[in-house]
Amino acid sequence: MVDPIDKGEQPIVHLNPDDPGYDAWRVVREDLAEGREPGPINVQRYKGGFPWIGIPTFFHLPVALTPEDLKAGEVDVAIMGAELVGGMRARTWGPMEMRNPHRSEIYHLWGEWAMPELDSGLAWERELRVVDYGDAPMEPLSLERTIPEVRKLVRQIAGVKLKNGKQTVPIIVGGAHALMYPDYAALADVYGKDKIGVIHFDAHQDYAPTGFGHIHTHGNPVRALLLEGFLEGDKFVQVGLRGPTSTDVPTLKEARAAGIRYHTMAEVEKRGWEAVMEDALKEVREQADYLFISFDVDVIDPTFMPGTATPEPGGLYIREVLPMMRRLCAENDIVGVEIVELKPDADVGYTSVQNAKAVLRQCLNGMAMRKKGLTEPGYLHPVMVDDGH
């Protein structure tokens, strides 16, 4: 029996380090590279195919297991999963369902059968070297113990230097938005906090002044990063805030005093999406050398994204989000992306995973455009928008 907390004592979580499962959740196999040369591993039997065949990975991509694999393969982007929900019964299944072609790819072909996007004219699969890097370990009962492990894995990816002078970009598909803390902190470890700007898409400001005594929750990663000195407020832009549980006027004023710039859905209603989008894009370009995109899927209206833990009506349409994501990734030097708060089992259909996959695909599409030098603001392939008649 644990003694009750007396007045004046600080609460602590009692753990038993003698429990044989104490560290079992984060033990990495020692034979990850045994018997093979470093490099991505293509686990598919065929060169290309339909979504309903093959071994599920993100987009049926090759797998990488070590930093040496990333370096040997000159990998541009490594996609990883991270649950981070603080309870084994609270898992989201977001990363695994994003690998599931049944619910998310429909008619999107893979490998040598991949087709170009009809906005850029590019097939990102042919322009970029992208891999599935597996998942971060998850301590099934503790955010606090999982956070350092997520940070370590994101830093492991971001720290890989390629021959072309670039570094591998981590894309994190996840559970709770508490992920922003380790994801951004890892990038700050690698690049320096003064070099990285952030654009944060969310129905909620995630700047909550309270977390029931917890330092890290899904509702306060922005505040935690600011208070701990990882994040500089004037390098932070928020888009899509709304709803009675998002924030309040005093908190907005506090965020503004910290230098944070924000664009609410009330502003979108008053000024129009095009004007707000252009302002946000301009602010992002002004703020830093590199950009981290934190994309909470609940920024999208639940008509298009019911599969999230915190749905809030009145959000962005998926048709507004996709060109914004493509432009961000084409017009900026992206060093990291997270797509969070996806909860597929809250959606009886496949809408949420399909749309979250579309957001990820347009991010990769934009990165492919940048690699090809197609960085003109709002670029669209001329043949795709004008049939010549």
Q: What is the pLDDT of residues 65-103, one digit of tens each?
A: 999 999 999 999 999 999 987 666 677 888 999 998 876
Helix (H, G, I), strand (E, B) or coil at 339: strand
Q: Which two tokens stand for residue 201?
A: 């898409």
CATH number given to 24-385: 3.40.800.10
Query: In sequence order, what are the residues at sequence separation of 6 or more whose Cβ sits closer than 8 angstroms to the Cβ of residue 6?
Result: none
Arithmetic mean of pLDDT over the chain: 91
Query: What is the model's pLDDT at position 87?
Result: 66
* Residue 134 to residue 141: CA distance in whole angstroms: 21
Q: What percent of the chain has pLDDT over 90?
A: 71
Torsion of CA 139, 141, 144, 149, to 10 degrees: 10
> DSSP of 55-85, one letter per residue?
--SGGG--B--SHHHHHHTT-SEEEEEE---
* Residue 261 to residue 285: CA distance in whole angstroms: 13
Residue 5 has pLDDT above 70, yes or no: no
Q: Count CB atoms within 10 A of the CB of residue 86.
A: 24
Q: Which letter does DSSP use for residue 8 in this model?
A: T
* Residue 93 to residue 82: CA distance in whole angstroms: 10
Mean pLDDT of 112-121: 95
Residue 212 has pLDDT above 80, yes or no: no
Residue 63 near residue 132, CB atoms below 8 Å: yes
Which of 128, 209, 144, 101 minimizes the C-alpha distance to 13?
144
Indicate the pLDDT class of residue 2, thresholds 50, 70 and 90. Answer: very low
- pLDDT, one tens digit per residue, over 128-181 is 999 999 999 999 888 889 999 999 999 999 999 999 999 999 999 998 899 999
More confident residue, 276 or 9: 276
Which of 244, 3, 207, 217 minimizes the C-alpha distance to 90?
217
Q: Which letter does DSSP use for residue 10 in this model?
A: P
Indicate the pLDDT class of residue 389, thresholds 50, 70 and 90. Answer: confident
User: Alpha carbon of 271 to those of 75, 140, 268, 275: distances in Å?
Assistant: 41, 44, 5, 6
* Residue 172 to residue 178: CA distance in whole angstroms: 12
Indicate the pLDDT class of residue 217, thresholds 50, 70 and 90. Answer: confident
Which of 228, 217, 224 minimizes the C-alpha distance to 144?
217
